Structure 1
Amino acid sequence: MALEPLDQLTGLSYAKGHATGNDFVMLADPEGNLDLQSVHVAALADRHFGLGADGVIRAVPTGRVPDYAYQLDHDPEAYWFMDYRNADGSIAEMCGNGVRLFVHFLVKEQLVELPVGGSLRMGSRAGIKEVTRLENGYAVNLGPWGLVHAEQAAATSLDSTVKVAGWEQARPALSITMGNPHTVVALAELAELDDLDLVHLPEVSPVPENGTNVEFVVPAEPLVSEGTGHVRMRVHERGVGETLSCGTGACAAAAAVRYWARTTAVIDDWVVNIPGGQVGVAFRKNADGTEDVVLSGPAQLVARGTLSPE
């Protein structure tokens, strides 16, 4: 990738951080003046010619985001908006790991005050989200999960197929929405999970209109230990490739395994192990019968800098 797109951002201050290995370039834009283009994002995220990241997150006042300013009218507490872009520059609705780092960034930039135990509401393309600061990280209420093809899923518990490089045949899968699309495939053995070729884009059918993230999951044996479900996961993120972690993907994986196991047990608390570490996923019932999904885990800033004129 050429360096010219970065030249246009000379002097821009940034931070670099990660949440269980899912890494992001963080930009503060309190006046909403930064005209961040897809070519800029792709250049920043390039791991050879840029800073390197799975995505770029801009912190901007919700009222300064034309298509989403209405969120501030609905909830005046949602002052900050998470403008999230994939590594290829494409716009994404949500990133559960990115939300945790986004709020951690706001705290460290002293743009908000958030003590341990306190909560913050924020805007996003997937709606307003609430984040609580924990002793060792953050918990994000990502809102309700859902089935993308509910009628077919109800009939067969499956609604899609996925094929990765090296597989002779496609495998059955279940499509989950967490505000962004996911397609989850269950595998029987950890060895098969470890051997997956996720360098290439998995083939998904039917593929959602805006693409999908694809999760490959192996349930633990036994699945439940001390009331908590355990699974291991790898993920291919749309617009990025394989990442060490995906927050909404972890939620989708837990939701899918929970859905498949519903005839034997309903498990509300899960631990999802990913290459970048471990996150918690909790399902909490609402009065209207829907279920909110709460993702918890760490977030860390590792560097700050200014883009060089070189």
Structure 2
Amino acid sequence: MRRFSFHKGHGTKNDFIILDDSYGMHEMHPEFIKVMCDRHSGIGADGVLRVVRASSVRGWEGDGSLWFMDYYNADGSIAEMCGNGLRVFARHLINEQLVDSGEFEVATRAGVRRVEVARHGLISTSMGPATVAEEDVTVHLGRHEWPAVKVDVGNPHAVVFLEEEDLHRLRLHDGPTWSPASAFPEGANVEFIRIDGPGKLSMRVFERGVGETQSCGTGVVASAAAYRARTGHEGSVDVSVPGGDLSVDFAAGEARLTGPAVIIGRGEFWI
């Protein structure tokens, strides 16, 4: 039996297990991640954040002294980026005094992202560009189908605008599919959004490798980018998700995501 210390945190109820591994000693097997994330027999979470120096990450060619957000979905699969996870990761670094200021950089599989403590203790993170593709994609859910907007935020997204359907009545248990299948050969996060007013959206999401979650940071950015492309809106975009509220700003070709991030406890996990 092995014993692992962990922290638990969430960003708008998108929750994560945090493992400190400064020297890259943990082997992150998919089965180990699945066991930890199981909500009945494990700790329970949408994913795992491993805190490791970038110099310990195979293939990393940038600044090796940066902290690297090594993120895994609950099913053990690797994800390129996670906006809520990045804020929780940053909150952990701040709480554990692993950084010496309220503004710093974090390495991720999608590149280096800048983090800063924003107003009222919220955390703001750069998310890189959000690229809206001019490609026809259709999302299917049960007997329903909708045109979707393909957006890249370092990871793949399909954004559906709901016109008449009730956002809260969608049944996302089985998960949506899409056509053509070649649009997302490695899977995608699918966001369903409703426009509530100028610069205001409501969103639900089915995350690749997890299922429906209470929030998805990159999904919020993708939805805001799709909304801006559709309407020409130029200001910030406020997005309400089941787990809370987030805000997205765009400047110099990049998106910035702002919202809460909370560490709720720490403990030991035996396996």
Match of 2:99 in 1: 112
Measure the CA separation in 1 of the matches of 2:270 and 2:74: 20
**Are 1:274 and 2:241 an aligned pair?**
yes
Measure the CA separation in 2 of the matches of 1:124 and 1:205: 29
Measure the CA separation in 2 of the matches of 1:270 and 1:244: 19
**Amino acid of the structure 2 residue aligned with 1:136:** G
Question: Deviation of residue 210 (structure 1)?
Answer: 1.1
Structure with bigger gyration radius: 1
**Are 1:201 and 2:163 an aligned pair?**
no
Query: Which of residues 126, 137, 162 is equivalent to 1:160?
Result: 137
Measure the CA separation in 1 of the matches of 2:45 and 2:200: 28
Match of 1:42 in 2: 34
Measure the CA separation in 2 of the matches of 1:247 and 1:13: 26
Query: Which of residues 57, 76, 81 is equivalent to 2:68?
Result: 81
Measure the CA separation in 2 of the matches of 1:103 and 1:258: 28
SS in 2 for 1:92: coil
Question: Deviation of residue 201 (structure 1)?
Answer: 1.8
Question: Deviation of residue 267 (structure 1)?
Answer: 2.1
Match of 1:304 in 2: 266
Question: Deviation of residue 124 (structure 1)?
Answer: 0.5
**Are 1:140 and 2:141 an aligned pair?**
no
Measure the CA separation in 2 of the matches of 1:44 and 1:202: 26
Alignment of 1:235-246 (within 5 A): 235-246=205-216
SS in 1 for 2:108: coil
Match of 1:4 in 2: none
Q: Is the 8 A contact 1:166 1:197 kept in 2?
A: no
**Amino acid of the structure 2 residue aligned with 1:205:** S
Q: What's the C-alpha RMSD, in Å, of the aligned pairs?
A: 1.3
Runs of 5+ unmatched residues, structure 2: none
**Are 1:254 and 2:254 an aligned pair?**
no
How many positions carry a matched residue from both structures? 268
Question: Deviation of residue 113 (structure 1)?
Answer: 2.3
SS in 1 for 2:249: strand
Q: Summarize deviations over 1:198-257 as a string: whole Å, max 9, x none.
A: 11120111341210000000001xx22xxxx00000000000000000000001011111
Question: Deviation of residue 166 (structure 1)?
Answer: 4.4
**Amino acid of the structure 1 residue aligned with 2:37:** A
Question: Deviation of residue 163 (structure 1)?
Answer: 1.0
Q: Summarize deviations over 1:55-92 as a string: whole Å, max 9, x none.
A: 00000000000112x1216xx6xx10000000000000
Q: Structure 1 residues 166 and 192 mapped into 2: Cα distance closer, same or farther (>3 Å)?
A: farther
Query: Which of residues 44, 47, 54 is equivalent to 2:46?
Result: 54
**Amino acid of the structure 2 residue aligned with 1:203:** T
Query: Which of residues 184, 193, 203 is equivalent to 2:159?
Result: 184
SS in 2 for 1:49: coil
**Are 1:293 and 2:255 an aligned pair?**
yes
Measure the CA separation in 1 of the matches of 2:68 and 2:270: 27
SS in 1 for 2:23: coil
Runs of 5+ unmatched residues, structure 1: 1-6, 153-158
Identity of aligned residues (%): 42
